[in-house]
Amino acid sequence: MVGPVVHLKTDRAHIAPFGDTRAHRMLEKHIRDFERYLRLEKNASGHTCRNYLTDLWEFDAFLREDHRGMVSHVDEINSLTIRAYLAFLSKKNKKRTQARKLSSLKTFFTYLVREQILADNPAQPVRTPKTEKHLPRHMSVDEVFAFLDSVPCETMLQARDKAILEVLYSSGIRVSELVGLSRGGIERAESVIRVLGKGGKERVVPVGDKALSSLEHYLEQSEPFCRKRYPDIPADRVPVFLNNRGGRLTARSVARIVDKYVLQCGLLHKMSPHAIRHSFATHMLNAGADLRAIQEMLGHESLSTTQKYTHLNVDRLMEVYDKTHPRSKKT
């Protein structure tokens, strides 16, 4: 399926470049071609396309405004050009942002090499800035139980909220996958749900009994509402999680629901739907789950993405070691 056309904002960071130099015309054409490649061949999401294009137009603006006269053609861009750009970024961007923008350039120039526009990738030799490692925030098991138990389920919307939070923690799916879930994706007999992940890839994710029970209660409560709101749509295509007008719930609405119950149950730290996903992975790993199994459930393409949770496990092991080993500390 062809992804949505990306319309960028018209502030200075997003606008297409202007001017009539040959370098400008060449780079603009390649960025436009790269956008089509992302949407048509890679089936990238609108969010991914926007991030890439924002980074590339900013690089284009740097070449025209801050590196003026040093590059007159796309094949004159070299590793020194890229390093100069990183030095420019370092004045106003954190290392994590610099690393992301460099990654965008590497992907873009890899595409140009593939299209035989460039012989080599000028960004490839440039070392990625070392970023600060932040362990993802997560809840303890006791906090999760208090959080989930704080949700009443007397009304349809409360039953919906309860089902949302139970499913997020039980399955570890992304909030985008949750709101994209349709009724046909729930397979009660197998205790799994089928979700559409990044890149349009479908995967099957296990769901626990408590989450399924909450989900079934909500589906029963919302059935009359769904029949009235979607009389002509096949039942398996009806959205699972609906807003109070009957439309598909958005990721932002789910974030507000999480905020509401975090406040209600008295948690000290702000939590997000992504923090619930982190909590799922951390608790599974601490209980002895295999890292590759967690990778499959989270839908990570690379095991290295999942391995950040091992840092949390190591912290726990060190805490146990310090408390129990007779020669762990100086006496």
> Do residues 151 and 276 touch, judged by C-beta distance below 8 A?
no
Q: State residue 69's pLDDT score.
A: 63
Q: What is the pLDDT of residues 274-323, one digit of tens each?
A: 999 989 988 888 888 888 888 888 887 776 666 666 655 556 556 666 77
Of 65-69, 149-153, 280-284, 295-299, give the lowest mean pLDDT range: 65-69
Helix, strand, coil: what percent of the chain each, to 5?
A: 60, 5, 35
- Are residues 181 and 88 part of one domain? no
- Are residues 240 and 147 part of one domain? yes
Kindly give, in sequence order, each residue whose CB lies less than 8 Å from that of residue 4, ignoring residues fewer than 6 positions away. Answer: 39, 46
Choosing from 114, 129, 159, the residue where a domain stops is: 114
- Are residues 316 and 198 part of one domain? yes
Q: Which domain holds residue 313?
A: 141-322
Q: What is the percent of the chain with per-residue pLDDT over 70, rounded to a whole number? A: 81
Mean pLDDT throughout 178-190? Answer: 93
**Does some domain include residue 60?**
yes
Indicate left, alpha or beta for 18 from its phi (over 0: left) and psi (-120 to 50: alpha): beta
**Does some domain include residue 91?**
yes
**CATH value at residue 264:** 1.10.443.10
Is the pLDDT at 14 greater than 60? The verdict is no
- Are residues 173 and 245 part of one domain? yes
**Does some domain include residue 204?**
yes
**Does some domain include residue 17?**
no
Which residues are part of the catalytic machinery? 174, 198, 274, 277, 300, 309
- Are residues 153 and 107 part of one domain? no
Q: What are phi and psi of 55, to 5 degrees?
A: -65, -40
What is the chain's alpha carbon radius of gyration, rounded to the nearest angstrom?
24
**CATH value at residue 46:** 1.10.150
Of 84-98, 129-143, 298-312, give the lowest mean pLDDT range: 298-312
- Are residues 163 and 107 part of one domain? no
- Are residues 265 and 178 part of one domain? yes
- Are residues 177 and 291 part of one domain? yes
